[in-house]
Amino acid sequence: MSNHNSLYDGEDDPQVKQEILEQARRKLMEMFGNLEHEVPLLLFTDPQINTQYCEAARSIIRAVQELTNRVSLREFGLSHELAQKYDVSLSPTLLFDPEHFAIRWLGAPVGEEGRTFLEAISMLGSRKNELSAPSRDLLAKITAPRAIRLFVSPTCPYCPQQAVNCLKAAIAKPEFVSLEIIDIQANPDLAEQYDAFSVPICFANEIMIARGAQPEELFMASLLKLEQQNIFIPESDAEQVDTDLTIIGGGPAGLTAGIYAARSGLNAVIIERGALGGQVALTPVVENYPGFTQVGGKPLVDIMVSHALQYANIFPDEEVMEIKVGQPFQILTNRRRYTAKAILLATGASYRHLGIPGENRLSGRGVSFCSTCDGPLFKGKEVIMVGGGDSALTEALYLANNDVRVTIVHRRERFRAQEHLVRQLQNKNIDVLFNTEVKEIQGDKKVEEVLLLDNKTGKTSARPINGVFIAIGYEPAVELARKTGVALTEDGFIKCDAGHRTNIPGIYGAGDVEGGYKQIVTAAGQGAGAAMTIFEDLVTPYWKTKKA
Ligand code: NAP
């Protein structure tokens, strides 16, 4: 392998090498002047394996030792008892202060990774990691082991950022976080085993949690949730937040309203109790949002949230308990109080239930309302998807694409979903039972069987099944509106005029809770329209004009 012969460009040019060493020396002097703690390094090598990486590791350690007496190095063969003690089998493997930390480097910290090595020594020697306050909060929530494997390359300029994130976590939380930094050039087999063909790529507990380098807080959030996070919203401890407009609901309507309102000059905030993006976040694929021929629901939400965050503060995981009508309005959540001149209710909708025996009891035990969340658990298994609208078909396609054997069960003989989806369903040969209703879901600890009624023949039959996915539409989330005295339509949606005004001056509605076409693009449009009306009304309050 030719790339094993050269560790990094320029190493053979004495002038370049001298310059690099000089720069490194100055930096090291600065970094290592006041190290309080010893940093014992243990290097494990085999003279026959990766010899140039072993020598490179020794060189960089020696260079550091010339500048500080706090770094010690002991070298052992792979058959030494300490190799067994620390479960080391690859050459070279460098352990950093293994009595206190679980940090190891497979390969040599050279090239771009030299920076990471210096940071590691500096942080270990000073026990300082300069974590931001939000990162510390996120790390504090980790209460179970996290075994990190980070794949890097000496020629990757993005890798040190992610490696330093990992180091900070492993140094700040040694009781739970262990770290293995793996140089893919020295360890091509391991890289192949993990499909680490693009670096940096990070795994924790064998789950891929990040591709590419992340800001520190996003890395800590990904480590905490064991899932790549693309957005980080810091928590606020303010007891009262004064606003012009408080938007309740962080789906496409609320997020768009936040952007429009703030751009009009209003101080707008968005409060969301559940998943930002609402139903869109759980939609596997969106094919009808302009500008994107095909985009995952979650990535689309991430883009919208990042956009909205540039204008409005978002308060996630917060539930509005009560609205006190008056000027200003007072909005009480489970965390704090908001005041607002206007309120936009963009509370969206929640899953409709079948209301049949077994549905609630077996929810989470084979009954699911979210194929993107739970679909992968049913790989190779047999499930039914109940419903005949866009959601049922989109989600059935998603399941089939994930090797789940899915049959659609629909109560009529025609779908109401878009023709485009029906064609895709036929192309995939997904089975459909038309004119069929699910009457009961059975099973002891998990779903085992469904009772199906053929509503043409009146015959009932039992069908063994592993899972029941339900996508039969949504009910508008109007509890808060109802409690506040906002009038509803006969169909149960918030009753609004063309400007999205409700019967209570200063309270508005937008998105699925207001009814209409219930598309992402129409919800966004309703949010934009509502924000513009609100701006105009706050400049020229129609309720005051009426009174005059
Ligand atoms: P939907 O369009 O209201 O369809 C609900 C489906 O469930 C209908 O087929 C309905 O049957 C069936 N259903 C309702 N109650 C039932 C019950 N108690 N038992 C059995 N079946 C029942 O809901 P959706 O599919 O969730 O879509 C909601 C909105 O989001 C729609 O406007 C849709 O266009 C939009 N959406 C769009 C996309 C996309 O464009 N990619 C994806 C998802 C959703 P009947 O036909 O007999 O009434």
What are the average pLDDT values for consecutive 10-residue runs of the chain, which has 548 residues?
39 73 74 88 96 95 89 97 97 98 97 90 90 94 97 89 96 97 94 87 96 92 94 88 98 98 97 91 88 92 94 93 96 95 96 95 89 84 97 96 96 96 96 98 96 98 97 95 98 96 98 92 97 95 62
Of ligand 1's atoms, which has the minimum distance to the CA of residue 393?
25
The CA distance from 148 to 203, in Å, is 6
**Best CATH choice for the domain 367-472 from the list 1.10.10.60, 3.30.365.10, 3.40.630.10, 3.50.50.60:** 3.50.50.60
Grouping H, G, I as helix, E, B as strand and the rest as coil, residue 329 is strand
Q: What is the DSSP letter of 446?
A: S
Read off the pTM.
Answer: 0.73
Backbone angles phi, psi at 385, to 5 degrees: -120, 120
The three-state (H, E, C) secondary structure of 384-449, written as one string: EEECCCHHHHHHHHHHHHCCCEEEEECCCCCCCCCHHHHHHHHHCCCEEECCEEEEEEECCCCCCE
Tally of CA atoms within 13 A in the half-sphere of 217 that contains its CB: 11
Residue 169's identity, in one-letter code, is: A
Query: Which residue, chain included where needed, has tokens 């899932």?
Result: 227
The neighbouring-strand residues paired with 71 are 39
Residue 53's identity, in one-letter code, is: Y
Q: What whole-number percentage of the chain has pLDDT above 70?
A: 97
| CATH 2.60.120.510 correct for 13-225 | no
- Is the N-terminal amide bond of 299 cis, ω within 30° of 0? no
Cβ proximity of 202 and 127 under 8 Å = no
- CATH fold for domain 240-350+478-547: FAD/NAD(P)-binding domain (3.50.50)
Instruction: Say whether 367-472 and 13-225 share the same fold.
Output: no
Grouping H, G, I as helix, E, B as strand and the rest as coil, residue 145 is coil
Report which protein residue has its CA nearest ligand 1's atom 24.
Answer: 473
Q: Is 202 a catalytic residue?
A: no
Query: Which residue, chain included where needed, has tokens 């978002």?
Result: 314
Question: How far is Cα of residue 442 from the mean position of the Cα atoms in its chain?
Answer: 34
Q: Which of 294, 391, 441, 514 to mutate to test the pocket of ligand 1 (most atoms within 8 A of CB)?
A: 391
Nearest Cα neighbor of 63 from 108, 6, 7 is 108
- For 158, 166, 181, 313, the CA distances from 170, given in Å and listed in that order, are 19, 6, 11, 31
Is the CB of residue 368 below 6 angstroms from any atom belonging to ligand 1? no
Per-residue pLDDT, 130: 85
The neighbouring-strand residues paired with 452 are 438, 461
Nearest Cα neighbor of 169 from 230, 114, 112, 123 is 123
The CA distance from 284 to 488, in Å, is 31
Is the CB of residue 424 below 6 angstroms from any atom belonging to ligand 1? no
Helix (H) or strand (E) holding 544: helix 542-547
Delimit the domains of the chain by residue range: 13-225, 240-350+478-547, 367-472
Burial of residue 294 (number of CB atoms within 10 Å: 0-12, 13-18, 19+): exposed
Nearest Cα neighbor of 296 from 312, 285, 282 is 285
- Residue 48 CB neighbours (<10 A): 7
Report which protein residue has its CA nearest ligand 1's atom 31.
Answer: 518
Q: Which of 369, 514, 518 to mutate to test the pocket of ligand 1 (most atoms within 8 A of CB)?
A: 518
pLDDT in tens, 218-261: 999 999 999 999 888 888 889 999 999 999 999 999 999 999 99
Burial of residue 516 (number of CB atoms within 10 Å: 0-12, 13-18, 19+): middle
Per-residue pLDDT, 321: 95
